[in-house]
Amino acid sequence: MHPTVCWWRYAWRAACALPTSTFSAAARRTHKQSFPPNSTSTRCHSSFFAATDVQRFCGAHLSSVSTEIYITPGRGSVLSHKHSVREFSNSAPTMTASKYQIAERGAPNSTDYRVYFKNENGQSISPLHDIPLYANDEQTVYNMVVEVPRWTNAKMEISLGEGLNPIKQDVKKGKLRFVANCFPHHGYIWNYGAFPQTWENPDHLDSDTGCKGDNDPIDVLEIGSRIAKRGEVMQVKILGTIALIDEGETDWKIITINVNDPVADQLNDIGDVETVFPGLLRASVEWFKIYKIPDGKPENQFAFNGEAKDAAFATKTVAETHRFWQQLVNKEVDSNGISCLNTTVDGSPYLVANDAADEVFAKSATGGNPEPVSEALHKWHFRSENSYSKL
């Protein structure tokens, strides 16, 4: 039996053999097997599980799936089998995003719902402009703003046209938008979001893709084991990128992993993704290719025949979109309908005082009429030739 596929079975058996007093009552209640809603496989890889809160006890770090036990060397051990447990030492620096807070406004599941951001002092900020792109001085770790947690369907995104750029749900024909469940995928298959202080310039013709930018911050896929929270600011490292061509526009998808993930030290470039998470790159390309078909749209296309580019290429692409953002926020180019209101960018013509930013937040909607839960969230779409049938 291959240890990288089913090593957890041994860990589970060993853990079950421990005295019950080893674990707290709360830990015993939550220590159970959990599979994602679209799983029909027994392959046991941390990226393909629905996550619960991270649990820590007896010096052992449990992944967000409680049957997968990760031992951090040097902090004790609950399992001593020499070949039973695969150890993951995380050499990446431990980082937190506790200095950022979110404030929800409006009724959830309504067109008035917004997620605003505040700094550690409780002052209103823009997640697009006031959260730094780089999370460390070496510029090797990045801040990712999580818009959509994995396995969810609501199409949440940073609102470009509104002051302070809160997260809101996209709307089409007056209705909230949800992505369809295209079998075997359930909702988004990664934590999905954007890099702050980036912008894909719609007037720039990309020399690699031959298409202009899509007027959005650059999109980010985080492939680690933990399900993030909406509005979370996560520290990630870049592994590579996919170049989606969405309705004729370049739409980069940067592939990353949380630097605090148990296997983060094993992933440093795009080739490592297939080694550690076999099949995930292929599934990601398929997801972007087909996810709009249930809405009556054709398959999306890709630059480079859908081949993922490496970390160096992706890093260069992100740096370029950061320069485009600098031009945007400094009013060197047309704003293209984007609100550039900010509280921290020195020299920006859009810089405002904290009081003015707080006033924007105070004027945001607090009500709203929640929509009924869409039945589409529980439907599967099965592909038949170039269309999807709904079950």
pLDDT at 389: 53
pTM of the model: 0.76
Region class of 194: left (phi > 0), else alpha (psi between -120 and 50), else beta: beta
Average pLDDT over residues 294-322: 95
Per-chain mean pLDDT for the chain? 81
> What is the predicted pLDDT for the residue at 76?
33
Q: What share of the chain in percent tops pLDDT 70?
A: 73
Cis geometry, peptide bond prior to residue 372 (ω within 30 degrees of 0): no
Residue of 131, 336, 117, 335 whose CA lies nearest to 230: 117
Domain edges within the chain:
101-371
Residue 197, pLDDT score: 98
Q: Give dist(CA 131, CA 125) in Å, integer.
A: 8
Say which amino acid occupies 345: V
Residue-by-residue DSSP string for 100-135: -EEEEES-TTSTT-EEEEE-TTS-EE-TTTTS-SBS
pLDDT, average across residues 271-294: 96
User: What is the fold, at CATH topology level, of the domain defined by 101-371?
Assistant: Inorganic Pyrophosphatase (3.90.80)
> Which range (71-75, 98-102, 263-267, 356-360) has the least confidence?
71-75
Q: What is the pLDDT of residues 133-181, one digit of tens each?
A: 999 999 999 999 999 999 999 999 999 999 999 999 999 988 999 999 9
Sign of CA dihedral 106, 108, 113, 114: positive
Tell me, what's the pLDDT at 22? 42
For residue 31, what pLDDT is reported? Answer: 38
| pLDDT beyond 50 at 189 | yes
* pLDDT higher than 70, residue 364: yes
Q: pLDDT confidence of 385, banded at 50, 70, 90? A: low
- Burial classification of residue 231, based on how many CB atoms lie within 10 Å of its CB (0-12 exposed, 13-18 middle, 19 or more buried): buried
- Segment 278-303 shows an average pLDDT of 94
* 279 pLDDT more than 50: yes
Tell me: the pLDDT tens digits for 53-98? 333 323 333 333 333 333 333 333 333 333 333 333 334 455 554 6
